[in-house]
A and B are shown apart, each in its own frame.
Chain A
């Protein structure tokens, strides 16, 4: 079975641009969470979606938004990119919406110049 997949693998943008990152969960998983991992740090929680509804939001500005589609895949959008948005963005899927083991994808490496 395929694991969590993310696209693209790498991305280079300039300040002020917009970016969309995509995630496909493990088949049968209905929850997707997004994390930001800055170099040298642990992942920081951004969003969780379950059954297409937002279930949790971390301490990130409104420039960050996400959504989940009927097939449970998800997009993370970041507007007005800043240099500090450069990071590895990780997607994790789980079977249910709470108290569940999460399976992580390989991540999207975003570089903002």
Chain B
């Protein structure tokens, strides 16, 4: 069964500082990996996705993530955080065997200090 672990429930960073959110997945084959962001009371917005190819993927809003098969990780990074980045971030894994089911982690709440 596929699963996702986001070890950090809350993270606080200062505006302008760099950010890394951790994500570890469990899946038997090559997974499809996603990062979504959710603002309070809102739906999910896709930041970036990895299907295949280059293991460093670029997303919207200056975010990037790196797929590391050996570590079963897909960490999200941003070199300089803006106050508007404060939100909850979800990592998700999708299967390659058909269907669109996504399995999400429990999320990381990001707080940005001015």
Contact = CB atoms under 8 A, between A and B. Distances in A.
A42 B90 contact: yes
B44 A104 contact: yes
Interface residues of B, number: 27
Contact of A56 (B32, B34, B99, B106): B99
Given A90-B43, A98-B98, 15 more contacts: A33-B100, A42-B106, A43-B104, A45-B101, A48-B101, A92-B100, A97-B100, A99-B51, A99-B100, A101-B46, A102-B46, A102-B100, A104-B36, A104-B44, A107-B42
Interface residues of A, number: 30
A31 interface: yes
Contacts of A35: 102
A35 B98 CA distance: 18
Interface of A: 4, 31, 33, 35, 40-45, 48, 50, 55-56, 58, 90, 92, 94, 97-107, 109
Contacts of A45: 101-103
Interface of B: 4, 32, 34, 36, 41-46, 49, 51, 90, 92, 94-96, 98-107
9 contacts: A42-B105, A43-B44, A44-B104, A48-B101, A55-B100, A92-B100, A92-B102, A98-B99, A101-B46
